Amino acid sequence: MKQKFEIIRSSCVPLKLDNIDTDQIIPARFLKSTTRDEKFYGDNLFRDWRYLPDGTPDPSFVLNDPRYGGEILLAGQNFGSGSSREHAAWAIAGYGFRVVIAGSFADIHRNNELNNFVLPVAVSEPFLSELFDTVLADPSAMVEVNVPEQKVTNLATGRSETFELNSFKKYCLMNAMDDIDYLLAHKSEIEKYEAGRLH
Partner 1 sequence: MNTLFDKIWDAHVVQKIEDGPEQLYIDRLYCHEVTSPQAFDGLRERGVRCFRPESIICMPDHNTPTQDQDKPVSNPVSRAQLETLEKNCREFGLTYYGMNTPDNGIIHVVGPEKGLSLPGMTIVCGDSHTSTHGAVGAVAFGIGTSEVEMVMASQCILQQKPGTMRISIDGRLGKGVTAKDMALYLMMKLTTGGATGYFVEYAGSAVRALSMEGRLTLCNLSIEMGARGGLVAPDETTFEYLKGRQYAPKGEDWDKAVEYWKTLKSDEDAVFDRELHFNAEDIPPMITYGTNPGMGMAVDGCIPMSSPSKPLDYMGFRPGQKLLGHPVDYVFLGACTNGRIEDFRAFASVVKGRKKAGNVTAWLVPGSWAVDRAIREEHLDEVLEDAGFELRQPGCSACLAMNDDKIPAGKYSVSTSNRNFEGRQGQGARTILASPYTAAAAAVTGVITDPRTLDVDFK
**Which range touches partner 1 (CB under 8 A), out of 54-62, 105-113, 130-138, 155-163?**
105-113
Q: Which stretch binds partner 1 (CB under 8 A): 61-69, 131-139, 140-148, 173-181?
A: 173-181
What part of residues 150-169 is at the interface with partner 1 (CB under 8 A)? Answer: 166-169
Nearer to partner 1, 6 or 171 (CB): 171
Residues 57-76 as b/e (b if ≥16 CB within 10 A, e otherwise) read eeeeebbeeeebebbbbbbb
Backbone angles phi, psi at 72, to 5 degrees: -120, 125
Helix (H, G, I), strand (E, B) or coil at 99: strand
**Contacts of partner 1 in 5-34 (CB under 8 A):** 17, 19, 21, 23-24, 27-29, 31-34
Q: For residue 115, what are the contacts with CB-CB under 8 A and spacing of at least 6? A: 86, 89, 178, 179
Q: Note whether 107 binds partner 1 by CB under 8 A.
A: yes
Beta strand pairing call for 7-10 and 99-102: unpaired
Task: Compute the distance between CA of residue 132 and CA of residue 15 in angstroms, rounded to an integer.
Answer: 9
Q: Is 63 in the site for partner 1 (CB under 8 A)?
A: no
Provide, rounded to whole angstroms, the least separation between the CB of residue 165 and partner 1: 10
Do 175 and 2 contact (CB within 8 A), yes or no? Answer: no
* Residues forming the site for partner 1 (CB under 8 A): 17, 19, 21, 23-24, 27-29, 31-36, 48, 53, 77-78, 81-86, 89, 104-108, 111-112, 115-116, 166-169, 178-180, 182-184, 186-187, 189-190, 193-194, 198-199
